[in-house]
Amino acid sequence: MVFTKVYQELKLPFDEAADITSEAGLDGVDSPVRPGGEIVPNAQWTICRDTSRSCTEGTCGLPLLTTAITNTASPHAETLLRLAKRLGIQFYRLGFIERQAGAFAAKQMAEVKAQLKDLAALNKEIGICGLLQNHSPSGRTNLFRWDLSELHEAVKGFASEQLGIAFDIGHALVVHVMIGAHSSRS
């Protein structure tokens, strides 16, 4: 799959982006449905339907969306997930979860797991799977989940049909090789 944020930056219409994806031999796309994304969640749900239609009419699939959803109270969370399921989308990436300054790691993990428990229950009801993605700091050192051991701890105990991990090799290399190598030299 390809993350269509790159197509957004190139200002490609989605039907052209879907064609390019198919021509490249990729199975599908992951579209950002979040503030500032290719599809802005609120009044533009028809774009989500049109995007899905562009993919399914060609050979390009739309199995995954990237969202800003971090819990069941996130704006438009349930509406978006139900629409995604109706459109045949199987997975969505969760939004960024910020660390709380000065809070203990174990306390933060317990709070995140409580949020994820409610989200997992909604995912089970709808029949969709939420994915936490490993991510490098990219200038944002307060991200909760940029370490693989934290990701494992966060999803441990949940059914894989409800919550899982979207592994990004590029971000993993930045965090575990480049930053790790830099830390060991300090």
CATH number at residue 22: 3.20.20.150
CA angle 36, 40, 41 (to 5 degrees): 130
Average pLDDT in the chain: 79
Structure-token pair, residue 77: 């969370």
Assign 101 a pLDDT band (cuts: 50, 70, 90): confident
pLDDT digits (tens, 9 = 90+) for 128-178: 999 998 877 766 666 665 678 888 899 999 999 999 998 888 878 877 776
Identify whether the C-beta of residue 63 lies closer than 8 Å to the C-beta of residue 92: no
Residue type, 111: E
- Please give the pLDDT value at position 52: 60
- Please give the pLDDT value at position 76: 85
pLDDT digits (tens, 9 = 90+) for 32-62: 777 666 665 554 455 555 566 656 565 677 7
Residue with tokens 């449905």: 33
pLDDT at residue 120 tops 90: yes
Residue type, 57: E
Total of domains in the chain: 1
Instruction: Give the E-state strand segments of 77-173 in sequence order.
Output: 91-93, 129-133, 163-166
- Please give the pLDDT value at position 180: 55
Assign 26 a pLDDT band (cuts: 50, 70, 90): confident
3-state secondary structure of 65: strand
Identify the residue with better confidence: 177 or 110. Answer: 110
Domain membership of residue 133 as a residue range: 2-185
